[in-house]
Chain A
Amino acid sequence: MNHHDRNSKIYLTRVHRLVTIGVVALPFFFLLMFSRVFGIPQGILLNDLGVSAFRIGVAYVIAAVLAWVCAVLFYRGKASTIGLPVFDVLQSFPTFALLPLSTYVWGVSHRTIIFFLVLTIIWPIFFSIISSLKLVKHEWHEAASVFGLSGNNYFVKFLLPVSLPGLITGSIIGLGEGWEALIATEIVVGSPSGLGSFFQTYSHNLTVTMFGILGFLLLVFSINKVIWLALLDWSHRTMEE
């Protein structure tokens, strides 16, 4: 480890820690102030936030797993020649067209909203992982083959690490689209709880709506800064040759 690395490590352990704690605390502090100033019970705010976070969390896990499995199965060979054009058409499918049908089948429920979110989030993750896998050096595949990596070892030591940068980039884009789709869906289907419901309830009050959006942006910023950008940086560093 050289001198420069050591310096950056000191920075990471002191100042960076404080900044991280600040970034994590910011949305909660904002929520507290927001609730006091506008007289909205914290319980309602936390419930709306919790319901929406639950929906997008579940949808994200389903989308990420499905996207990863499909990407691994279809990224090369004949499966890729046939599969990728089909997936490209599917991702262009107007997802909102399915919303009335899914509401009809499942009603105004978690399931309807999560289904819609999965369809929104899955594509950026899928295509980012495909792009990651296609960029894997031919020699790495050859090394994995020569040294007999198979089964669980192939999964843990090869497939997972090479697909991580794509998974992370795709997750950042997918979740960005996901939040937007989440709030839109909650408003359109008339969900009784969730952030969409909150914005719908206070649609007549411009100040609450503006500060609500600000709080929401702070939350997204905080998640991105603490989780996703850190993961993105880490994944690129581990792939550096």
Chain B
Amino acid sequence: MKKALVLNNISKGFSVGPRSLPVLKDIDLEIDEGEFFVLVGPSGSGKSTLLRIMSGLENSFTGTRTYGATYTHDTMSFVFQQFALLPWLTVYQNIELGLLSRYSDKEARKEIVMRELKQFGLEKFRASHPRELSGGMRQRVGLARAMAIEPKIIFMDEPFSELDSFTAEELRKDLLSIWEQRKQTIIMVTHIVEEAVELADRIGVLTPRPARIEKIICNTLRRPRKMRSTEFYRLEDAVKDTIRP
């Protein structure tokens, strides 16, 4: 299996006055191409910091981060916890954001944006501003913006944690169906174990600070996963038991 991303001995600390507070310690991790990898861990364990290092948003760390041969900055995308939509731009313009540097032809950009608007059910809202949308619709825009650039790898930082449970469930289903069509590599951080079991091929459990990889759990449950099945609950319990508070 080709690797999308390999981390070796990744460590990171934050300076607090004269002291350095270790956040991540000796993290080794390999992500396969096309897999859905989810990181879980106790609150404040450094999940988001690790995701930012993986995505290239954070470059101050020790250790090595190696991307697959065909991966460049242009082939990576990010979905933010609080959407990070630019409020002065319309839905259309937000989705178009990543295409501006990639396609100089306006019509080519329009075609892609229209495709994503349709895919995420946002056609009616193309001229709206983010403030006019509900949380669920905003994250749809966030996902559409991330997908529009046709990335090979997408990093997601707790993308559903700001949403109510119904909206989050609906959006997870949509994300899975799109992922099954496009087969991009997805690396996601969450603190909701149920979400990890529903989505992931593999679940990486982090220890409390300084975070190490406690265990990597393979999720062999057949898709589409039945969230009320015994196997689902069993795996959810196994992950929960692994997480140390």
Contacts and interface: CB of A to CB of B under 8 A. Distances in A.
Interface of A: 137, 139-140, 142-143, 145-150, 153, 157-158, 161, 238-241
B100 to A, nearest CB: 5
Contacts of B97: 143, 147, 149, 157
A147 B87 contact: no
6 contacts: A147-B149, A148-B74, A148-B100, A153-B100, A157-B86, A157-B89
B40 to A, nearest CB: 22
A234 B77 CA distance: 32
Contacts of A137: 84
Nearest to B98: A147
Contacts of B93: 157
Given A147-B77, A153-B101, 15 more contacts: A137-B84, A139-B82, A140-B84, A142-B78, A143-B80, A143-B86, A143-B97, A146-B78, A147-B98, A147-B145, A148-B100, A157-B89, A158-B86, A238-B87, A239-B87
State which size class the interface on B falls in. 20 to 34
Contacts of A142: 57, 78, 80, 84
Contact of B130 (A147, A148, A241): A241
B73 interface: yes
B88 interface: yes
B176 interface: no
Of A137, A153, A157, the most chain B CB neighbours within 10 A belong to A157
Contacts of A161: 86, 88
Contacts of A157: 86, 89, 93, 97, 100
Contacts of B89: 157
Contact of A148 (B84, B101, B145): B101
B131 A240 contact: yes
A133 B209 CA distance: 33
B234 interface: no
B112 interface: no
Nearest to A151: B101
A137 B80 CA distance: 12
B55 interface: yes
A177 to B, nearest CB: 28
A139 B130 CA distance: 15
Interface in B72-125: 73-74, 76-78, 80, 82, 84-89, 93, 97-98, 100-102
A239 B55 CA distance: 27
B92 to A, nearest CB: 13
B114 to A, nearest CB: 18
Contact of A150 (B78, B101, B129): B101
Given A153-B100, A153-B101, A146 B76 contact: yes
A146 to B, nearest CB: 4
Contacts of B77: 146-147
Contacts of B55: 146
Contact of A143 (B74, B84, B101, B102): B84
B84 A139 contact: yes
A161 B88 CA distance: 7
A239 B129 CA distance: 10
Nearest to B74: A148
Interface in B36-91: 55, 57, 73-74, 76-78, 80, 82, 84-89
Nearest to A146: B78
Nearest to A162: B88
Contacts of B129: 238
A235 B131 CA distance: 14
Nearest to A240: B131
B73 A140 contact: no
A240 B85 CA distance: 11
